[in-house]
A and B are shown apart, each in its own frame.
Chain A
Amino acid sequence: MAHARPIATTRSATGIPTPRLAVWWILASEVVIFGGLLGAYLMHRLGHPEWAEAASHTQTWIGALNTFVLLTSSFTAVLAHQAAEKGNGKQAAKFLGFTIIGALLFLVIKSYEWTTEILAGYTITANNFWSFYYTAAGLHALHVIAGAIIMGFVAVDAFRGRELHRVEIIGIYWHFVDVVWIFLFPLLYIAK
C-alpha cells in the first residue's frame, strides 16, 4: 500500500512550504517562552541590586567560548543549507555533522561550567539569581540537545540524498537557538 502524502504537506495557501511555515510557528511560540523568561529575569535583576553579587560569579570566558561555538555551528548549518539547495546531500550531511559537533562541544563546556559552579555551592536553590541562571540556560541547553538529535536524523537522510528540504528547516530552528544564546550571553555573563 503506497502512502499518500498528507494533504496538509502538499498544499500551501501562504506560498510557503508547509514544513517551513510550521517551523516559523514553532519559533513564534518559542519567542514567547524565552522572551517571557528573559523578561522576568531582567525585571527582577533591575529590581534587586543584591543580585549583582551573585552575578559576579558567572564565568565570562566560558560563556564567551560557548558563544563562539554556537556562532560557528550556525555558520556550518547555513553552509549545509547552501549545499542542500545545490542538491549536494553528502556535503549537506557533512556540514550538519560539524553543527552537531558544535552542539556537543557546547554541552561539554556547559557541563564543565555547571559542575564547577555547583561544587562551589552555587546551586539552583542558592538564591533567585542562580534559579534564573539554571532555568534559562537549562531550557536553552534542552533546545540544543533536541536540535542536535533531530539534526542527526536529517543528516542521515541528506547523506542518502533524501528529504533535502529538511536541511533548511532544521537550520532555521538552529539559528534561533543561536539567537537566544546571543541574548543570554550578555544577560547572564556580561552585565555584572
Chain B
Amino acid sequence: MSENIHHDDHGHDDHHVNYTKIYLTLLVLFVISVLGPELGIRWVTLITAFGIAIVKARLVVNNFMHLAWEKRIVKWVLATSLILMFLMVAGVAPDVMNHEGNNWENVAAKAEVERGLAYMAGYGGEEEEEGEAEVVVAAGFNAEVSFGQICATCHGAGGAGDGVAGAALDPPPASFTDPAFWETRDRERIKTVIRDGAAAVGGSALMAPWGALYTEEQLDQVTDYVMSFNPGNE
C-alpha cells in the first residue's frame, strides 16, 4: 500500500530486511540440503535437496533481489517466462522421457540405456551395486529384444538387411535370410564378427564390435539368434 502512495524512483528502502538473518537461514538450509541426502532415503533426498532449493531460491529472490517489494509488472514478466518454460518442458516430456509409444519407438535411446546398463554391470561401481545391476541385466536379457534394439536399425528386425539405417550404408549389411550368405559363414565367424566387428574378418568397420555390450553367455544367445535367420536351419 504505502509503496503505491510514494513510489519514489530511487531506492525502495522503506522495508527493513535483516540481511544477516536471511544469510544465516540460507546457510542452515544449505547444510541440511547437503546432509539430508547422505541418509540415502529417497524421499528425504527429494525434500532436502529439491524442496530446500526452492525455499532457498525464494528467500534470495524475495529478500536479496527485493522481488517481494517490486512492482507487479515485474512479477508478471517473470511468471510469463516461467510458465512458457514449463509449457515447453511439459510439451516435450512425453517424447523425451518415454522410449516408445503407440506408433513409435526410440531405438537409439533404448540402445543407449541398454549399453549404459551393460557397462554398469560390467565395469561399474561398488561391489553390491555391481551384483545387483548384473542380476537385473541378466534376468532381463533376451537376444531377440537386444537385436531389435541395437542391430535392427541396420539389419532390420527380420535380419534381411533392410533396417532404416541399413540402406544408407556402403556396403549395406547382408541379408541373413539369404541362403547364399550362409554358404560361406559358420557360427564361429558370426560370433567373432559380433564380438570384434566385421573389420576383424576383413569386412567393413561400419559393423562395429559389440563385445563390450554382452557377457559371454549373452553373446552366445545373440549369435544363436542371428543363426536362426538361416532359412536352411528349419
Q: Which residues of A contact B (CB under 8 A)?
A: 12, 14-17, 21, 24-25, 27-29, 31-32, 35-36, 39-40, 42-44, 46-53, 56, 60, 64, 67-68, 71-72, 74-75, 77-79, 82, 85, 127-128, 165, 168, 171-172, 175-176, 178-179, 182-183, 185-186, 190-192
B84 proximal to A (CB < 8 A): yes
14 A-B pairs whose Cβ atoms sit less than 8 Å apart in the complex: A29-B81, A35-B82, A35-B89, A39-B88, A48-B112, A49-B117, A50-B120, A53-B120, A56-B125, A71-B26, A75-B23, A79-B19, A176-B65, A179-B57
A74 to B: closest C-beta gap in Å: 6
**Cross-chain contact B23 with A71 (CB below 8 angstroms):** yes
B1 proximal to A (CB < 8 A): no
Total number of residue pairs linking A and B with CB closer than 8 Å: 145
Instruction: Indicate which residue in B13, B85, B120, B125 contacts A36 across the interface (CB closer than 8 Å).
Output: B85
Q: Is the interface of A mostly helix, strand, loop or mixed?
A: helix
Complex Cα spacing A175 to B67, Å: 11
Q: Given A36-B88, A48-B116, does the pair A53, B125 have CB atoms closer than 8 Å?
A: yes
Apart from A15-B7, A165-B10, A175-B60, 5 more pairs, CB < 8 Å: A28-B78, A40-B89, A50-B112, A178-B64, A186-B53
A23 to B: closest C-beta gap in Å: 10
**Cross-chain contact A16 with B70 (CB below 8 angstroms):** yes
Q: Is the interface of B mostly helix, strand, loop or mixed?
A: helix
Complex Cα spacing A178 to B125, Å: 32
**Cross-chain contact A21 with B74 (CB below 8 angstroms):** yes
**Cross-chain contact B23 with A190 (CB below 8 angstroms):** no
Chain A residues lying within 8 Å of B50, measured Cβ to Cβ, are 186
**Cross-chain contact B78 with A27 (CB below 8 angstroms):** yes
**Cross-chain contact A74 with B64 (CB below 8 angstroms):** yes
Complex Cα spacing A43 to B90, Å: 10
Chain B residues lying within 8 Å of A182, measured Cβ to Cβ, are 53, 56-57, 60
B96 to A: closest C-beta gap in Å: 4
Chain B, residue nearest A13 (CB): B73
B11 proximal to A (CB < 8 A): yes
Chain A residues lying within 8 Å of B113, measured Cβ to Cβ, are 48-50
Complex Cα spacing A82 to B16, Å: 10
**Cross-chain contact B112 with A17 (CB below 8 angstroms):** no
Q: Given A64-B34, A175-B60, does the pair A24, B85 have CB atoms closer than 8 Å?
A: no
Chain A residues lying within 8 Å of B99, measured Cβ to Cβ, are 47
Interface positions of B from 48 to 106, Cβ below 8 Å from A: 49-50, 53, 56-57, 60-61, 63-66, 70-71, 73-74, 77-78, 80-82, 84-86, 88-89, 92-93, 96-99
